[in-house]
């Protein structure tokens, strides 16, 4: 009987809350990922970090990871510019951390930090801890002059060790209010480009990969929009109750306590991935039919199954 991971040609895995929390590995994550016999690409909405820095972090945790195994929303944004017909060598305003400018350079564009003399073809706006009001103004001026505007992601908040800080979505919102419209494109989750680029790097189509994440509103919605099946691990942001209440656009294919279940056969026993997936699906069907009482009764079945799985 094949394992969950063996059902797919490769995995596209989120990082924060799935593989690590800040500097520390999520329990069981490194061991589970190291034991896989198929490729993994790590896809992150973090636009400020360079792939080499992310790969080094994963290597320090004990994983084998090269920079080409990491796909960032900055890289997806640069890819979108190429797909939209932006000419190689074109000047592009890079707003955000070092990862934004690096991704543009790798894609063959000329990254600039100020518009200066002459127009820019596009603006790529990503998060950076040192982004200033002047940087946002440069973005607004360029967009008003007709530059194509791509946001790396629109995460409204950014969790930090001191609390919740404004994320790139909040900064994008400031520019949007100035120019009177939203970005032309968004590269990161929950939009599909980040997943599509990860699959292309693997030489696969999105339905051939398993997207793994801990957030319904980014990881899972992004997988659904890209046409990939998904696994939500309950080691990060969202819990089972959030899954049970999720709309169709945010419903994972599979739910598991942690990454160890990648090596479990989905139909293996009464407390299995398949049993939990069926229980979750039954709750969703009851919700969709408007039968709230039945949905709550079925939700108790799903919760009980999860408790038994956690004890295995």
SS3 of residue 165 by DSSP: strand
What is the sign, positive or negative, of the torsion defined by CA atoms of 203, 185, 252, 291? negative
Q: Could you give the residue numbers annotated as active site?
A: 14, 16
| CA distances (Å), origin 302, targets 57, 235, 243, 312 | 36, 17, 11, 16
Q: How far apart are CA 19 and CA 268, in angstroms?
A: 25
Place of tokens 């820095």: 53
Q: φ, ψ for residue 160 (rounded to 5)?
A: -130, 175
SS3 of residue 235 by DSSP: coil
Looking only at the bridges linking them, the beta strands covering 110-112 and 70-72 are unpaired
What b-and-e string marks burial along 184-217, b requiring 16 or more CB atoms within 10 Å of the CB? bbbbbbbbbbbbbbbbebbebebeebbbbbbbbb
Kindly compute the dihedral angle of the four CA atoms of residues 85, 86, 89, 95, in this order, to the nearest 10 degrees. Answer: -150
| CA distances (Å), origin 226, targets 215, 235, 249 | 16, 23, 11
């Amino acid at each position: 009987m094949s394992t969950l991971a063996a059902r797919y040609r490769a995995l596209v895995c989120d990082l924060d809350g799935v593989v690590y929390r800040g500097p520390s590995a999520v329990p069981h994550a490194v061991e589970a990922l190291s034991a896989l016999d198929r490729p993994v690409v790590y896809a992150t909405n973090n636009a400020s970090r360079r792939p080499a820095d992310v790969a080094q972090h994963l290597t320090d945790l004990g994983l084998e990871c090269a920079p080409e195994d990491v796909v960032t929303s900055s890289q997806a944004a640069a890819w979108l510019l190429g797909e939209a017909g932006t000419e190689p060598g074109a000047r592009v305003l890079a707003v955000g951390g070092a990862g934004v400018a690096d991704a543009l350079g790798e894609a063959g564009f000329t990254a600039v930090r100020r518009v200066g003399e002459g127009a820019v073809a596009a603006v790529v706006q990503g998060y950076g801890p040192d982004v200033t009001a002047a940087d946002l103004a440069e973005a607004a001026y360029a967009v008003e002059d007709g530059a194509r505007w791509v946001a790396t992601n629109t995460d409204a908040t950014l969790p930090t060790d001191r609390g919740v800080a404004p994320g790139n979505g909040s900064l994008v919102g400031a520019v949007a209010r100035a120019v009177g419209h939203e970005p032309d494109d968004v590269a990161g989750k929950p939009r599909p480009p980040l997943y599509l680029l990860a699959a292309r790097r693997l030489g696969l189509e999105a339905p051939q990969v398993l997207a793994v994440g801990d957030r319904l509103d980014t990881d899972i919605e992004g997988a659904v929009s890209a046409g990939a099946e998904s696994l939500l691990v309950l080691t990060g942001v969202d819990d089972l109750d959030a899954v049970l209440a999720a709309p169709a656009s945010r419903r994972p294919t599979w739910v598991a306590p942690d990454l160890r279940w990648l090596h479990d056969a989905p139909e293996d026993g009464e407390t299995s991935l398949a049993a939990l997936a069926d229980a979750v699906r039954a709750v969703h069907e009851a919700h969709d039919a408007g039968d709230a009482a039945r949905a709550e009764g079925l939700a108790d079945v799903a919760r009980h199954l999860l408790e038994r799985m956690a004890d295995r």
